[in-house]
Amino acid sequence: MSVDIAPGLDAGSVALEVCWDGRCHPVDVELHPATTVDPSPCEGTDPDDVCSAQVRETGGFHGFTELPELPEEPVRVTLTVFDEAGEKLVHHTVESTPQPVHPNGFDGDSAGPQLRLDVAADGSVTPRG
């Protein structure tokens, strides 16, 4: 499971609870500053010329945690986002179905189902299976 928080929402921590089959599972997610890659110009046009990129923080946050029992069936997820002082910024419940991920292409084995929650600056939450 992963959580992506957009810039503009000053998150300090998150709490997740994932429920299926009548049981709920609290999930710890550690937040880190979100980053993106900015390409830099190449030193030339030949295939052996050097090109580079620089990583920069976006102002958002990202967190990921493993939940090995996560099923490929509908789950209910309650997400709470807190600021650094512990004040609740977002409290939202969504339902979604985790989808299998194939890191080596669809011909390879699945790495298991995953679910991503995108949190916008206005506090809205969009699940992405």
pLDDT value for 112: 77
Where is average pLDDT lowest: 20-24, 107-111, 125-129? 107-111
The pTM for the full model equals 0.83
pLDDT value for 77: 97
- State yes or no: pLDDT of 109 exceeds 70: no
- Full residue range of the structural domain in which residue 84 is found: 2-128
For 60-98, b/e burial (b = at least 16 CB within 10 A) is bbbbeeebeebeeeebebbbebbeeeeeebbeeeeebeb
40-86 pLDDT, tens digit each: 888 888 888 888 888 999 999 999 998 888 999 999 999 999 999 99
Q: How many domains does the chain have?
A: 1
